[in-house]
Structure 1
Amino acid sequence: MSDPLRRVDALVDADTLPSPRVRQRLRVAAGLTQAEVANAIGVQRVAVARWEAGIAKPHRSNRLKYAHLLRRLAEKYPTAVQEAPSED
């Protein structure tokens, strides 16, 4: 399976999250702040910052809400899911 298909599959699974980098790009593409995302999920802004930095992972109930939000954003902003080309 190619990498783009894996990224799409990861966004479709109920509690699977895309990479921290993609999470941030989706939020930024939607024009949302970390505080707005945190408020929608019911957590502190620092939790979203840690999730986007890859420092922490959300607990199951928060992960489901966060994954749902990210899937919806990916539908609206599909280019944010695409990985930037690597520089060699």
Structure 2
Amino acid sequence: MPTEDELFAAVDEVLARGPILPPPAERTRLREAAGLTQEEVAQVLQARRETVIAWESGRKTPRPPRLQAYKRLLDGWAAKYPTSDPTPTE
């Protein structure tokens, strides 16, 4: 049986791997809940609309520094527009 310290160390290692984005459908839900278009998100993140479409579909993942900025935006929306689904997002 692992100790609490061992489990915490394993969790910290996973957290240190970098920001994890919510599933693609949740990315779209959050943007729509905020009332923004893909073009508006693209302008904020200084990217092309097609790039935001690829992020929302899960075809592509943003690279730093946009990855951290996009995650911050999504996290802010998630706090403001929580899901009504009681199951956690992956």
- Which TM-score tier does this pair reach, normalised by the shorter chain? 0.7 to 0.9
Provide the TM-score with structure 2 as the length reference: 0.71
> Which of 2, 20, 34 is equivalent to 2:38?
34
In structure 2, do the counterparts of structure 1 residues 14 and 50 end up closer, same or farther at CA, with 3 Å as the change threshold?
A: same
Segments of 4+ in structure 1 off by > 6 A?
A: none
Query: TM-score, structure 1 length as denominator?
Result: 0.73
**Number of equivalent positions:** 72
Unpaired segments of 5 or more residues in structure 2?
1-14
Distance in 1 (CA, whole Å) between partners of 2:30 and 2:50 is 17
19, 23, 29: which one pairs with 2:27?
23
From 43, 67, 75, the equivalent of 2:79 is 75
In structure 1, how many angstroms separate the alpha carbons of the residues matched to 2:41 and 2:27? 11
Q: Which residue of structure 2 aligns with residue 60 of structure 1?
A: 64
Evaluate the alpha carbon distance shift between residue 51 and residue 38 of structure 1 in structure 2; reply closer, same or farther with a 3 A threshold.
Answer: same
Structure with greater helix share of residues: 1
Structure 1: gaps of 5 or more residues = 1-9
Instruction: Compute the RMSD of aligned alpha carbons.
Output: 2.3
1:16-64 CA deviation, whole Å, 9 max, x = no partner? Answer: 2101110000001111100111111110111000001111110121100
Q: CA 1:56 to 1:76, structure 2 compared with 1: closer, same or farther past 3 Å?
A: same
